[in-house]
Structure 1
Amino acid sequence: MSNLSEQFAASKLEHFPVTFFAMIMGMTGLALVWEKASIVFGAPAIVGHLLLTLTACLFVILAVVYLLKIILRKSAVLEEFQHPIKLSFFPAFSISMILLSIATLTLSERLSFILWSVGTALHLMLTVYVLNQWIHHVKFQVTHMTPSWFIPVVGNILVPIAGVEHGYTELSWFFFSIGIVYWIVLKTLVLNRMMFHDPMPEKLLPTMFILIAPPAVGFISYIKLTGTLDSFARILFYSAMFLLLLLLSQVSRFSRIKFFMSWWAYSFPLAASAIAAQLMYINLGQPFYYYLALGLLSLATVVIALLFFRTLQAVIRNEICLPE
């Protein structure tokens, strides 16, 4: 019996996916939404704190489990690291650290700075590595490209949100520039793949929501860098809202998709949209943006809560960490 248990645990560890860190991105995003909502709507601050505590605990657990996978199942990690699609999810780890640094800004400046420094340095290394793989590839095909390819490069846009607060303005502009410029390039390539090549498999369809994240986060980051709501900021905000509208118009299509960990691709973009709408209301003070922000807060909360409980259910039912 003990041998069977050990084999089961070893199998689970071998197939523990790096995509789990997308869960941390979504959960931290929701914590930030509620942190902002305590200012905009007077929501209880305890909600954001509880979400942050839960997310931090999950991050530690996932990091420890994946570290064990690196130690005990190195070949499985290398296989993921060489996979044309899964490779893009490794930077979700460094993005999670950057997001946690943003969420802890008001709680501990030192902790926030440590998370930001390590997360930013690691993300830059991963960005350079992934770009090198794309440029000098021998295995990538057009059908391998999905919106998840945004994660390594566009994750750089997040750096200024805490970076400016820590006094690194020029460094923040460096990372913002990387994210914005290469977002435009990658978006062109991704849309070409989606429009003129074979449809993405059902499992990867939720990653289409990642299209929303770059302009939404770009808007938040740009406002942090400049302190003004100018024309470029408006372009970023409204392009994010259009993409959100476009994808929500396909809700019936997404609702029929079987549960995969890729469902977590819904989470962070919705959270980023909710924060962007709250920031727009703070700058303009118009009722429309108040109700838009309130609606997106509700939508992000409901969707991420459902994702969390569906993932928990999948763990209990032994539906994940299985061979593909």
Structure 2
Amino acid sequence: MTTRIPLVPASFFGIVLGLAGLANDWRAAHLAWGLPAAVGEAIFALAALAWLVIVALYALKWLVAPQVARDEFGHAVQCCFVGLAGVATLLIAQGAQAFSRPAAVVLFVLGVAFTFGFGIWRTGHLWRGDRDPATTTPVLYLPLVAGGFVTATVAATLGYPQWGQLAFGCAFFAWLAIESVLLHRLYTAAPMTPALRPTLGIQLAPPAVGATAYLAVTGGQSDMLAHMLVGYALVQALILLRMARWIAQQPFGASYWAFTFGATALAGAAIRLSMVPGETAMAALAPFLFGAANLLVIGIAAGTLWLFCAGRLLPKPGPAAQSATR
């Protein structure tokens, strides 16, 4: 009898980011507009369940198919998704704060340790150079930029805003440095292959998640920098919409969850800013961004469920993986 264990790629942690981001949007929408609080809590419960399942399956992959896990860990593009394990844990810590502060603190410490441990290790490897420009994609933001901004947000949520400001600085300047490299590649090198194009969805995340982090570490003040971050995120969203047909040459798959975290962060930042007295621009934009984030996450979740039911969600394992899962 053959038992096949799903070999979950690290990129599946993006599912947790999208669901947790939408849960945070609904929590903010409850405060801003009085929408049902139960919706946000239900989505967070789904995010927590997804996190538990993906953590368990990803850890199991290292036991039953260590060569597959090592190949992913050393891959020029796929390796950066490994950093999302820590980011996803941080987001679950943020959501858990409403139910158990001790549990939230433990998850926060674990998430920070993994996020920065992996991020520093991977960045040190990248600094050695000798990298194929074709492998330069927005996944480079994931280890330190996404990790730093989310660390800043959760640290402030747990009552450690000064530590959050340190993490914000790490993420902010890493983002500016990496973006210059990435845009040079996009402007001057060969076009991305279709398989890599969905990673462009991550391009929306740094300014949007950065805006969320900035609001968290500054106590939610509406100022020039907050508007700058949201404004740049809006431009990224419009550029991605303009490129949608080109990106969609890659058939739909779990990789499209890359669009969800930035979209939900943009909506969340706008909702939080809309609650500041006298904030007219964000008050006008927030409902539309909230609606768009919901449609995007629901659509991608429905497509993912359809792929799962059709048996097409997970990549086909190679010979080594097949032998390990028997």
Q: Verify same fold: TM over 0.5.
A: yes
Aligned partner (choices 138, 141, 149) of residue 132 of structure 2: 141
Is 1:269 paired with 2:278? no
Whole-angstrom CA distance in 2 between matches of 1:72 and 1:257: 30
Which secondary structure does the structure 1 equivalent of 2:196 belong to? helix
**C-alpha contact 2:145 2:171 (8 A) present in aligned 1:** yes
Q: 1:27 aligns with which of 6, 9, 19?
A: 19
Residue among 33, 41, 59 paired with 2:33: 41
Equivalent of 1:153 in 144, 153, 156: 144
Match among 206, 215, 233 for residue 207 of structure 2: 215
Contact 2:198–2:255 under 8 Å retained in 1: yes
Q: In the alignment, does 2:235 pair up with 1:242?
A: yes
Work out which of the residue numbers 117, 123, 126 in structure 2 matches 1:131.
123
The answer as to 2:66 corresponding to 1:74 is yes
CA distance in 1: counterparts of 2:292 and 2:250, whole angstroms? 19
By how many angstroms is 1:234 displaced? 2.1
CA distance in 2, matches of 1:263, 1:284: 36
Out of 280, 287, 300, the position equivalent to 2:293 is: 300
The answer for the alignment partner of 2:56 in structure 1 is 64
| Alpha-carbon distance in structure 2 between the residues aligned to 1:236 and 1:108 | 32
**Equivalent residue in structure 2 for 1:316, among 309, 317, 323:** 309
Shift of 1:255: 4.5
1:117 is matched with 109
Counterpart of 1:209, as a letter, is G
**Which ranges of 4 or more aligned residues in structure 1 deviate by more than 6 Å?**
none
Aligned to 2:179: 187
Q: Distance in 1 between matches of 2:287 and 2:278?
A: 13
Q: What is the distance in 2 between the residues matched to 1:285 and 1:274? A: 19
The one-letter code sitting in structure 2 at the alignment partner of 1:50 is A
Out of 290-299 and 51-60, give the one that drifted further: 290-299
Deviations 1:242-264 (A, max 9, x none): 21122223334344541122111
Asked if the contact 2:97/2:158 (under 8 Å) is kept, the reply is no
> Do the aligned partners of residues 169 and 287 (structure 1) sit closer, same or farther apart at CA in structure 2, a change above 3 Å counting?
closer
Residues 210 and 269, structure 1, Cα contact 8 Å, conserved in 2: yes
CA RMSD of superposed structures (Å): 1.7
Question: 1:197-223 CA distances to partner (integer Å, 9 max, x unpaired)?
Answer: 011111221221211211111112112
2:213 alignment partner AA: S
1:281 aligns with 2:274: yes
- The whole-number CA distance in structure 2 between the counterparts of 1:277 and 1:256 is 31
Counterpart CA distance in 2 for 1:217 and 1:244 is: 13
User: 2:95 & 2:89 partners in 1: Cα distance?
Assistant: 10
Q: Taking structure 2 as the reference length, what is the TM-score of the superposition?
A: 0.91
Query: Which stretch of structure 1 is more off in the superposition, 121-130 or 290-299?
Result: 290-299
Query: Is the 1:203–1:260 contact (alpha carbons within 8 Å) kept by the matching residues of 2?
Result: no
Distance 1:301 1:312 in 2: 16
Residue 169 of structure 1 and its aligned partner are, at CA, apart by 2.9
Q: CA 1:177–1:85 in 2, change beyond 3 Å: closer, same or farther?
A: same
CA 1:285/1:109 → structure 2, altered by over 3 Å: closer, same or farther?
farther
- 1:137-192 deviations in whole A, cap 9, x for unaligned? 55x21110101110011021111222123333332222111100010010001101
Q: Name the CA distance, whole Å, in 2 between partners of 1:295 and 1:194.
A: 30
State the AA in 1 paired with 2:187.
M
1:90 counterpart SS class? helix
**Unaligned 5+ runs, structure 1:** none
Distance 1:224 1:133 in 2: 31
Amino acid at match of 2:316: L
Structure 2 distance, partners of 1:306, 1:221, is: 26
Q: TM-score, normalised by structure 1?
A: 0.92
| CA contact 1:105–1:162 (8 Å) conserved in 2 | no
Report the count of equivalent residues: 315
Question: Is the CA contact 2:18–2:261 (under 8 Å) kept in the aligned structure 1?
Answer: yes
Check conservation: 1:154, 1:183, Cα contact below 8 A: yes
